[in-house]
Amino acid sequence: MSQERTFIAVKPDGVQRGLIGEIIKRFEQKGFKPCGMKFMQASEEHMKKHYEDLADKPFYPGLCKYMSSGPLCAMCWEGTGVVKTARKMMGETKPADSAPGSIRGDYCIEIGRNIIHGSDAVETANKEIALWFKPEELFSWTQGNHSWIFE
């Protein structure tokens, strides 16, 4: 597998619960590297663009309103198979279906407060990263421990 990037966001509930550091720690300990990160409050219009694929769902307006209700932490992570692995690390969208040890399995109870968003495919990741980050806000670099993580 080649190196790829994914978009991860700690949602407003995760921010309020003080879980940004724990989530960053899990991705770093796994061996993925951060390429971009910002703490911000997104507008409702920005969230409508982000979730436009869900526009026909009944929960869409509430989701966009909620996601713009407080600050979040937007991140770009890089690594081999990072999109698929990040989804496994996060757990299922419904926290009750998430395995213990996953982020949602360890920290969430309800679907509307599932603390984290992650891209579901490489193509989606590329689109989401471009929506949240300007090219000059993303960094390509080599970690000192790269050869100890990747073959």
Catalytic residue among 46, 50, 117, 146: 117
Whether 46 sits among the annotated catalytic residues: the reply is no
Annotated binding residue 93:
yes
Annotated binding residue 114:
yes
Annotated binding residue 124:
no
Annotated binding residue 59:
yes
Nearest to 94 by CA among 117, 110, 74: 110
Residues making up the annotated binding site for ATP are 11, 59, 87, 93, 104, 114
Which residues are designated catalytic? 117
Residues making up the annotated binding site are 11, 59, 87, 93, 104, 114
